[in-house]
Amino acid sequence: MRNSNIAPAATDPVRATRRVAAMLATALVFATQAHAQSSDIKLQDAAPDRYIVQQGDTLWNIAGKFLKEPFR
């Protein structure tokens, strides 16, 4: 038997509002961090727009080829 005094989370407007606010806050934090990190990346002058990974490539050697500060 269900307690009629307790509203399910899906129909409780306060809980739904808090859930949406929490999701928006989380998305904002991730978006801000991603923007801050991506704006610090500086490419070499001759870096291509695309690169096909070759056998034996590692992230470190690819970064060394195309980033001005690969180990930062």
Mean pLDDT by 10 residues, the chain (72 residues): 58 83 81 64 90 94 91 76
Q: CA–CA separation, 63 vs 47, rounded Å?
A: 10
* Predicted pLDDT of residue 18: 85
Tell me, what's the pLDDT at 13?
A: 83
Q: Residues of 49-64 as b/e, b for ≥16 C-beta within 10 angstroms?
A: eeeeeeeeeeeeeeee
Identify the pLDDT of residue 7: 55
Contacts of 56 (CB under 8 A, 6+ apart): none
pTM of the model: 0.43
